[in-house]
Structure 1
Amino acid sequence: MSSFGSIFKVSTYGESHCASVGAIIEGCPPGMPLSDADIQPQMTRRRPGQSALTTPRNEADAVQIQSGVEAGVTLGTPIGLMVRNKDQRPHDYTETDHYPRPSHADWTYLLKYGIKASSGGGRSSARETIGRVAAGAIAERYLKLAYGVEIVAFVSSVGKVHMPDSETDNDLLSEDYLKLLSTITREKVDENSVRCPHQETADLMEERIVEAKSKADSIGGTVTCVIRRCPVGLGEPVFDKLEAKLAHAMLSIPATKGFEIGSGFKGTEVAGSVHNDAFVKKADGKLGTKTNRSGGVQGGISNGEDIYFKVPFKSPATISQEQTTAKYSGEEGVLATRGRHDPCVVPRAVPIVEAMAALVIMDAVLIQNARKASASLLPPLETPLPPSMSLPPPQKAEEIVDEIVKTQQA
């Protein structure tokens, strides 16, 4: 369906070449300062025509808040968001009247509904993600104001060009890479048009995209995302585990082909004694993990460590090369696709991944807060719980410092 979330619920609307696209957001807490300007930066990062590496379609993607906000403050009622399509060219897609594009959604949409949008892929187009990014910006604003949450994504590979993330091919993630995950900023990511924070790799990635474009072809890649300062206790076992909701969100983005969290597939190649995250007392006195192979999620619940994951995007299906394929009638022919499309989607996918991550965390926060608020209304238990069933009382700051000093002296 076109809705996502349980409490913070987002419904998107619009096709690639209709009058407008946008979203309706329900469940946003009241009393939060919000304006178009708070949403627009992420819209601008997602929009087409950013560089020679993206589609030349020229859209400003200016967002307009239609409802749910008054005097610059959220009312708690549904927030309507709209972005007008201005650079529409449906006539660029007349060849799809005769041919289903290879690896595109033309044929499956027609099989499912018995009818389909006449141009640009309709709801399967990446243009649909505008509503997600706008809604994600609102979710992210709340998470930042309430918890200091930071969500940063970047391009980690294009084709066979990979950003270095381990010391050798057999290693888990290197210390340098984990440090990058803990410090990377969007400003650093946006320093080049590929959105890879490792400049040497970014240069090679750009060359690969330019090569694909020069051949009227396309190439895929991966986006890595990190969520920092995420509240603990998020995720609803067993079917709505946090990583399951993140995977659901990421795989709903057009062109995605997988999901990998924490050590991912590399974690299958080492023994448990190497992979396990041992527990330690952190500087703030709270229990944490010495390593973070789990990627911030254990048992489907956030544990307070950085959450990091990777999402692969396939090579865009729409290319300008002539392709031998079949018409809707079954007759063989040659399809020469026109229109405007990205030779590689991953640079523009970065804010989309960030937006979907924000929507997952926002919904999980509201669910967990509802649970905690409900539990807080109950009278105290008459019989104390055993230590393994409840959290220990927080230590005083000076006691934590003393313990750290003693450990260092030892």
Structure 2
Amino acid sequence: MAGNTFGKIYKLSSFGESHGVAVGGMIDGCPAGIALSAEMIQQELNRRRPGQSEISTPREEADRVEILSGIFEGKTTGMPIGFIVHNTNQNSKDYGHLKDLYRPSHADYSWQQKYGVRDYRGGGRSSAREHIARVVGGAVAKQILAAYGICVQGYTSQVGTVVLPHSYREIDLSMTEANIVRCPDPVIAESMIALIREVKEAGDSVGGVVSCVIRGVMPGLGEPVFDRFQARLAQAMLSINAVKGFEYGTGFAAAAMRGSEHNDPFVMKEGKVHTESNRSGGLQGGVSNGEDIYFRVAFKPVATIMQKQNTVDREGKEILLEAHGRHDPCVVPRAVPVVEAMAAMTVVDMLFEAKAGREGDLGF
């Protein structure tokens, strides 16, 4: 199975299944001498872990990370950073009835066709539980970025039809962790929570949007043509389970605008070149221009719902599926740290790539 490694220089390779013994990974390409906080890595995992609130899956997992290598006396050694998180609360029996069935909108059929075998217990490798490795890799990347004055902040901006009507500049992002849905507006957050409760009670699910802003990226980062900054970000985001769309800057809204509306005029601020507006989302020609980089990631409703659905089995017989198990009615709140992690790793990878090539004056 290919496709288990992310990055070019800062690389994350992951392993493990939802109902296997453990999930984990290895980070390669991290320089020596970087001070890392194991506590911060665990805090990031706590933000993603299941069972953290009434609107998430009831599966209880502590998700305690064990660092196996690459860190000595609180600093990186330059060697691969190996880590593991043991699964402790699998209820594999909940999935026994799915052994010969194809769940609607799941990977069951496509993976069976590709590999000739599949792990039907919670989706196996196709489960979002593999995101654990991404969050660890992102937590390390965030600590590297902090030394460059770069920070990544995600938040829930939409759940179903409930939309946060403000841009990130108009809200206090420090309030993101103040509620279980991770929306920085407390009033909108309550409406989002109410909607998730409603769909959960109905045995259904709902999608939403995670918005994210990257601040502090110096101008000149990224590669033109095939390795544009936004292309690398898009690939990272679209690799996340349940993601259906990605846009940066004005995104699809730009299609209805004129050039006179969309252009970002250049101005001088404190002796430096800036743009008066930022409809480009901090990226022009595939390269960062020094402004905030902001983007949105759309998540579909969770495929497993507690309602009867039509499907077929491996023999081609049409049947009625009644699903069991423990599932999120909405993945968006727990997806926020995953989006941040993938963004952080993308930026670190491009930073190291630029540093290796010494391209331009990026302040290294």
Give a deviation string over 1:251-306, Cα, whole Å, max 9, x none: 000000010100111122121011100101122x1111110000011100011100
What SS does structure 1 have at the residue aligned with 2:55? coil
CA RMSD of aligned residues (A): 1.4
Specify every segment of 5 or more residues in structure 2 that has no aligned partner in the other structure, as ranges: none
Select the residue among 357, 363, 378 that pairs with 2:349: 363
Provide the C-alpha distance between the structure 1 equivalents of 2:122 and 2:155, rounded to a whole number of angstroms.
27
Provide the C-alpha distance between the structure 1 equivalents of 2:40 and 2:56, rounded to a whole number of angstroms.
24
What SS does structure 1 have at the residue aligned with 2:226? coil
| TM-score, length of structure 1 as denominator length | 0.86
Q: CA deviation at 1:23?
A: 1.2
Provide the C-alpha distance between the structure 1 equivalents of 2:269 and 2:111, rounded to a whole number of angstroms.
52
Provide the C-alpha distance between the structure 1 equivalents of 2:209 and 2:59, rounded to a whole number of angstroms.
23
Asked if the contact 1:233/1:368 (under 8 Å) is kept, the reply is: no
Q: Which residue of 2 aligns with 1:350?
A: 336
Q: Map 1:101-112; keep pairs closer than 5 Å.
A: 101-112=103-114
Q: What residue identity is the alignment partner of 1:131? A: A
Q: CA deviation at 1:334?
A: 1.3
Asked if the contact 2:108/2:120 (under 8 Å) is kept, the reply is: no
Select the residue among 244, 261, 267 that pairs with 1:257: 244
Q: Which residue of 2 aligns with 1:90?
A: 92
Q: Which residue of 1 aligns with 2:4?
A: 2
Provide the C-alpha distance between the structure 2 equivalents of 1:212 and 1:232, rounded to a whole number of angstroms.
44
Q: Which residue of 1 aligns with 2:197?
A: 210
Q: Map 1:3-82; keep pairs closer than 5 Å.
A: 3-82=5-84
Question: Which region of structure 1 is more displaced relative to structure 2, 90-99 or 6-15?
Answer: 90-99
Q: CA deviation at 1:91?
A: 1.0
Question: Which region of structure 1 is more displaced relative to structure 2, 229-238 or 342-351?
Answer: 229-238
Q: Which residue of 2 aligns with 1:121?
A: 123
Q: Which residue of 2 aligns with 1:268?
A: 255
Q: Which residue of 2 aligns with 1:149?
A: 150
1:313 correspondence with 2:313: no
Provide the C-alpha distance between the structure 1 equivalents of 2:4 and 2:13, rounded to a whole number of angstroms.
5
Provide the C-alpha distance between the structure 2 equivalents of 1:231 and 1:369, rounded to a whole number of angstroms.
13
Q: Which residue of 2 aligns with 1:380?
A: none
Give a deviation string over 1:171-195, Cα, whole Å, max 9, x none: xxxxxx25237x623xx10111111
Provide the C-alpha distance between the structure 2 equivalents of 1:61 and 1:336, rounded to a whole number of angstroms.
29
Are residues 178 and 333 of structure 1, via their aligned partners in 2, closer, same or farther at CA, if it must alter by over 3 Å?
A: closer
Q: CA deviation at 1:338?
A: 0.8
Asked if the contact 1:12/1:23 (under 8 Å) is kept, the reply is: yes
Asked if the contact 2:24/2:85 (under 8 Å) is kept, the reply is: yes
Q: CA deviation at 1:151?
A: 0.6
1:184 correspondence with 2:173: yes
Matched residue pairs, number? Answer: 360
Provide the C-alpha distance between the structure 2 equivalents of 1:178 and 1:213, rounded to a whole number of angstroms.
29
Q: What residue identity is the alignment partner of 1:201? A: I
Provide the C-alpha distance between the structure 2 equivalents of 1:178 and 1:208, rounded to a whole number of angstroms.
22
Specify every segment of 5 or more residues in structure 1 that has no aligned partner in the other structure, as ranges: 166-176, 377-390, 392-410
Provide the C-alpha distance between the structure 2 equivalents of 1:72 and 1:193, rounded to a whole number of angstroms.
31
Asked if the contact 2:263/2:279 (under 8 Å) is kept, the reply is: yes
| TM-score, length of structure 2 as denominator length | 0.96
Q: CA deviation at 1:81?
A: 1.2
What SS does structure 1 have at the residue aligned with 2:319? strand
Provide the C-alpha distance between the structure 2 equivalents of 1:179 and 1:221, rounded to a whole number of angstroms.
20
Give a deviation string over 1:139-184, Cα, whole Å, max 9, x none: 1100002x1111110111111111103xxxxxxxxxxx25237x62
Greater Cα radius of gyration, structure 1 or 2: 1
Give a deviation string over 1:338-394, Cα, whole Å, max 9, x none: 110000000000000000000100000001111217x89xxxxxxxxxxxxxx9xxx
Give a deviation string over 1:307-327, Cα, whole Å, max 9, x none: 000000000001111212211
Provide the C-alpha distance between the structure 2 equivalents of 1:339 and 1:18, rounded to a whole number of angstroms.
16
